[in-house]
Amino acid sequence: MDPRQRPLLHRRLGVLKALAWSLVATLILIYAWLQLVRHAEFKQLAMQQAVKIRPIAAPRGLVLDRNGFRLVDNRRALHLVIQREDLPTRPEVIQSLALALELEPAALARKIQSYRFAGKGRPLVLKENLDDAGIALAERVRARFPFLSVDVAPRRVYLGDELAGHVLGYVGEVDEELMKAKPGVFHLGETIGKEGFEASGNDKLKGVDGQKRILVDQLGTEVANFGQTDATPGRSLYLTLDAGLQKVMQDAYGEEAGAAVVLDLRDGGILAMYSSPSYDPNLFLNRLSQEMVDRYLNNPTRPMLNRAIQGIYAPGSTFKLLVALTGLEKGVITPQTVIYCAGKKNFYGRDFRCDKPTGHGGLNLVQAIAQSCDVYFYEVASRLDIDDLYATAEKYGFTDRTGVDLPQEKRTRIPSRAWKRKASPRDPKWYAGETISVGIGQGAVGVTPIGLARFYATLATKGKVLTPHLFYGFRDDQSNQLTPAPPPPPRDTPLDPRIWSVLDEGLYEVVKDGTARASALTDITMVGKTGTAQVATFVDKAHYARQAKHLKDHALFAGYAPREHPQIAFAVVVENAGFGADMAAPIAKKLVQYWFVDRLRNPLPPPRGRMVDPFAPAQEAEQ
């Protein structure tokens, strides 16, 4: 080598050594930075890959009747699911998965897409409530799609089937529509109450989800449990319902449509509420077949409608008590006022007929209530203004929703001039002849069964406007005893004792010697008013007899018992069943008979107390 080039070579080697040492130093610094500075971050990322968080669904609280009879329970169920972090992205994988599980590929793709961007939530459920065949299918499919897993989750069970379907409602998963309607309130896939008390009492019944951490291998297969936080179950609660009375009500309706409500006059607790036709909430826990959709959701008989709080019915002659109350308070009649009934009476150039074509003759108010004379109440209504009737109804809580703790209650419809202007802008004038029809509970007036029951409860309590309710209290997890909740406070609107005694006497005579005398009881004094609400016009009784079933009159009966010290009030509506005395009053008789006689002849316990379980075996009851 040329000695002159040696210094140049040394310089170049020096540069290379410097570069090499710089590279080593840089690598050491990077390694130190990764190991020391970002150690926690990378450890967390590694743990996220190896340890997965799985939510543990919290069981909802049980629902019991006032005696401790279980109406809603929980059972263990197995679901085939995809955890949120394992959702597939490739269309061909989604297509294959759908075909393997006999699902609609497009629907599965949409659901996976919605879950992918929905944030926190439970896993995507593909198959619910796996039976033996379902478990076998799940295991076969999981061999091809290892990201699938089988989760254990609580499942709601409604023990009474159709006994209290409308009252209890049912649960379901939170969907995208609800997420959009109430952003930030629910998580996608969360189970919430959809209808009935499950919906209105959702916050009382729901628990707090837990979570478990599991170790998985590189294929995502669960290897070991890495610890968990247990779910907190929802609190179990009592309803004011009496399952025995509810069963009597259900059996009394049979195949007839309609609704009935029985109220506890001490605090407004709903002892029984039934809407017919009913439905079994268990059927709505799974995806509905088209047959089930047609049977329940597209059925013209509307079995999903809770007629007790959403059905609007002409009250017929049960409304005459409000007319009588208004007439007495306004002074247009007295209890001794006698009006002659000749079978019809002409008002404003039109004949208004009585149900008795030959007429009732001269009647005072008590007799008119007992015989349900239409002419008498036509005349009283003619002496009143429609706004007088509305004001009295408003005073005694008959124009408002009752405030029952169930969703979607409808308001009773008591007409007034202001109502007519809003409801009929093309013909806003209220005509005096319309008041005549309202005087017997026809025309524009319409009430819900629960609203009618509350009005008669107001009469029974001499002016106490109660708030019907179902929530009775929580069950103590240790002792299983009732921890009562304070009932909604009533609104006192005292009735004049002289007026009340006349109305009470009239209702007593209805059952003693009047239109409902066939439904009188020997052991208990039931009082009430029959009602027959016309659905379609007819010429005479022969023409009415030829009418189709759906054109027949609605039958009603409302009242309270016992007369001496009223404890319950009730309203019964039977659709297209004819006269109230023939169809509705006998149902009320069965309810009163059960409550006061057949129910072991036990008097009502102190308010908020426990009752004997009517379903308990004899040996258990003795213990």
Question: Contact 83/145 with Cβ under 8 angstroms?
Answer: no
- The model's pLDDT over 128-166, given as tens digits with 9 standing for 90+, comes to 888 888 888 888 888 888 888 888 888 899 988 899 999
Q: Which residues are catalytic?
A: 317
pLDDT at 212: 77
Residues 295-350 pLDDT 10s: 788 888 899 999 999 999 999 999 999 999 999 999 999 999 999 999 999 999 99
Indicate the pLDDT class of residue 61, thresholds 50, 70 and 90.
Answer: very high
Residue 599 has what pLDDT? 83
* pLDDT at 1 exceeding the cut of 70: no
Quote the pLDDT of residue 616: 41
Q: Which residue has the higher pLDDT, 30 or 244?
A: 244
Q: Determine the pLDDT at residue 119.
A: 57
pLDDT at 603: 45
Q: What's the rounded Cα separation, in Å, for the pair 77 and 33?
A: 49
Tell me: pLDDT of 621 over 50: no
Check residues 44 and 214 and name the one with the higher pLDDT: 214
- Are 445 and 438 in contact by the 8 Å Cβ rule? The answer is yes
Give the predicted TM-score (pTM) of the model: 0.85
What integer pLDDT is reported at residue 569 of this predicted model? Answer: 98
Which residues touch 339 (CB under 8 Å, ≥6 apart)? 362, 363, 368, 373, 375, 376, 379, 380
Percent of the chain with pLDDT over 90: 54
Q: Which of 573, 356, 535, 355 is nearest to 456 (CA)?
A: 573
Which pLDDT value is given to residue 307? 97
Average pLDDT over residues 594-617: 57
Check residue 28 and give its pLDDT.
Answer: 80
Please return the burial class of 616, using the count of CB atoms within 10 Å of its CB with bins 0-12, 13-18 and 19+. middle
What band does 40 get if pLDDT is binned at 50, 70 and 90?
low
Q: Among 168-182, 371-385, 390-404, 503-517, which is the least confidently predicted range?
A: 168-182
Please state the length of the chain.
623
CB within 8 Å of 374: residues ≥ 6 apart: 317, 341, 352, 353, 354, 355, 440
Q: Strand pairing partners for 188?
A: 121
Determine the average pLDDT of the residues in 432-451.
96
What CA dihedral angle connects 509, 513, 515 and 520, to 10 degrees? Answer: 90
**Contact assessment for residue 393 and residue 399, using Cβ atoms and an 8 Å cutoff:** yes
Tell me what the mean pLDDT of segment 10-33 comes to.
77
What pLDDT, on the 0 to 100 scale, is given for residue 364? 97
pLDDT digits (tens, 9 = 90+) for 169-219: 999 888 777 777 777 677 777 889 999 999 999 999 998 888 777 776 655
Instruction: Return the top range by mean pLDDT from 232-236, 436-440, 613-617.
Output: 436-440
Give pLDDT, residue 619. 40
138 within 8 A of 101, measured Cβ to Cβ: no
Mean pLDDT computed over 406-432: 95
What pLDDT does residue 2 have? 65
Least confident piece of the model among 91-95, 392-396, 448-452, 533-537: 533-537
User: Nearest CA to 528 among 538, 539, 517?
Assistant: 517
Instruction: Select the more confidently predicted residue: 456 or 81.
Output: 456
Q: What pLDDT digit, counting tens, does each position of 281-300 carry? A: 998 887 766 777 777 888 88
**What does the alpha-carbon distance between residue 475 and residue 171 come to, in Å, rounded to a whole number?**
21
Structure tokens at 38: 């970002």
Q: What is the pLDDT of residue 614?
A: 40
Q: What is the pLDDT of residue 544?
A: 54
Query: 355 versus 13: which is more confidently predicted?
Result: 355
Nearest to 492, CA basis, from 473, 464, 522: 464
- 477-536: pLDDT as tens digits: 777 788 899 999 999 999 999 999 999 999 999 999 999 999 999 989 999 999 998 876
Q: How much is the pLDDT for 573? A: 97
Given a cut of 70, whether residue 51 has pLDDT beyond it is no
3-state secondary structure of 107: helix
In the predicted model, what is the mean pLDDT of the chain?
Answer: 86
The vertex-509 CA angle with 504 and 510, nearest 5°, equals 100
d(CA 532, CA 515): 11
Query: How many CA atoms are closer than 13 Å to the CA of 471, on its beta-carbon side?
Result: 24
Q: What do you get for the CA distance between the two ends of the chain, in Å?
A: 115
Burial of 159 (0-12, 13-18, 19+ CB in 10 A): middle
